[in-house]
A = this chain, B = another copy of it.
Amino acid sequence: MIKVDEALKIILKSIKPLGSEAVKLTSILGRVLADDIYADSCIPAFDNSAMDGYAVRAIDTQDSSQDKPRILDVIEDLKAGYLAKNTIRHNQAIRIMTGAVMPLGADSVVVVEETQKLGKNKVEIFAPIKQGENVRLKGEDIEKGELIIAKGTLLSAGHIGVLASLGRQYIKVTRKPKIAILATGDELVDVGKKLKPGKIRSSNTHTLYAQILKSGGIPKNLGIAKDRCSELEAKIKKGLDCDVIISSGGVSVGDYDFVKHVLGKMGTRIKFWKVAMRPGKPLVFGMIKGIPVFGLPGNPVSSMVSFEIFVIPAILKMLGQGMDNKKEVKAILEEGVEKKKGLRYFLRASTIWKPDSYYTRTTGPQGSGILKSMALANSLIILPEEEEKVEKGVRVTVRFLD
């Protein structure tokens, strides 16, 4: 039996980042950037007006006031998207819209609210303006050549905006790992089939499917293998075109727990098969023909928690994602809890921000078969190996699930 941190280290050592693919800008949300992106142009690409108003030479407005406005000649009307035909000279102005290129000769923009049109071709300016006021300078957002998004970034709407501004139509992102799911056990029946006495639904197939989707993988459902070596072997073989194979069930000490046996027979290098944690103790990890294989426990909650703690970091490494978004925080424990020394505990919990801090409490019975408390949970309370008892009011580490 090894510790959680040791197990995670062994897993991550075996995992290699996947390759990359070019994907259209409209499909990169939530993908991970494969290469550093440098700006190949300035944003904005030209000095432009930040407001609707009048492009002027600041010097021509210096003595203007509400009582004694300066009167300038309006020589042109300039919309965004076009270039001025004229250069501004002494006592001249160009009516300008937000985003339009600054006309030659102008150095600032007087906002329309501080002006008054006078006849057809003149404007009154009511206040002096500083040089450069209301002008967005070329490159003020992004300089040409600047590193703008680093490799390994999980792409959000903001990044997509920047990439669109730079005119990037295809982006190199890392490939999503294809992950096979195999449920094992004579007792399992898929959803939609008739349930005979003694049988249960293969819920792990569906939770794993959802967990894979959520963490950026592509699930491949291999279905349910009965407790027969030949069937198990045949199903595992169908997962060998994937980047990861996950089985659930069949990894404890029972005579009918075949997974470890069959994996061994198929030449899997088993790296460990028991972790000092609850839930989730029986966990096989190994490499089969170069592919990482996780034999997760069959209990629904053990399967979910093991995925969260071990498979997600593996997926993030495959994706080359720099940072796990599910940050851990500290929360005040709203009830005392007891645990067995030597095991790391992961308690299903509801963690909520109250005015000043996070507070957390368990969502009900913590048996590894109790899926309801998992469905109610938004987080896991993580209790370290050495603890035996944690008092109410203590600050504990919490990991959010979604």
Residues on A facing B (Cβ under 8 Å): 25-26, 29-30, 43-46, 50, 52, 79-83, 95, 97-101, 112-113, 136, 140-142, 148-149, 156-169, 185-188, 191-192, 195, 197-207, 209-211, 213-214, 227, 252-257, 298-300, 304, 325, 327-330, 352-353, 355-356, 365, 367, 369-372, 374-377, 401-402
Across the interface, which residues of B come within 8 angstroms of A164, CB to CB?
A: 191, 201-203, 205-207
Measured in the bound complex, the distance between the Cα atoms of B148 and A376 in whole Å is: 9
* Shortest beta-carbon distance from A349 to chain B in Å: 12
Closest to A208 in B: B157
Given contacts A29-B214, A81-B185, contact A201 B166 (CB under 8 A): yes
* Shortest beta-carbon distance from A171 to chain B in Å: 11
Identify the interface centre among A140, A142, A365, A369: most chain B CB within 10 Å of its CB. A369
Q: Copies of this chain, how many?
A: 2
Contact in complex: A367, B81 (CB < 8 Å): no
Across the interface, which residues of B come within 8 angstroms of A365, CB to CB?
A: 140
Measured in the bound complex, the distance between the Cα atoms of B185 and A82 in whole Å is: 11
Contact in complex: B256, A304 (CB < 8 Å): no
Identify the interface centre among A26, A50, A206: most chain B CB within 10 Å of its CB. A206
Contact in complex: A191, B161 (CB < 8 Å): no
Across the interface, which residues of B come within 8 angstroms of A52, CB to CB?
A: 252-255, 257
A206: contacting residue among B25, B83, B375, CB under 8 A:
B25
* Shortest beta-carbon distance from A115 to chain B in Å: 12
> Can you name 22 A-B residue pairings with CB atoms under 8 Å?
A30-B214, A46-B197, A50-B367, A52-B253, A52-B257, A79-B227, A80-B187, A81-B186, A81-B199, A82-B187, A100-B187, A136-B367, A149-B375, A156-B214, A156-B401, A157-B207, A158-B375, A158-B401, A165-B371, A167-B195, A167-B201, A168-B191
Measured in the bound complex, the distance between the Cα atoms of B44 and A206 in whole Å is: 17
* Shortest beta-carbon distance from A253 to chain B in Å: 6
Given contacts A52-B254, A192-B169, contact A206 B161 (CB under 8 A): yes
Measured in the bound complex, the distance between the Cα atoms of B80 and A394 in whole Å is: 41
Across the interface, which residues of B come within 8 angstroms of A80, CB to CB?
A: 185-187, 198, 256
A185: contacting residue among B99, B141, B257, CB under 8 A:
B99
Given contacts A50-B367, A252-B98, contact A198 B83 (CB under 8 A): yes
Measured in the bound complex, the distance between the Cα atoms of B226 and A79 in whole Å is: 12
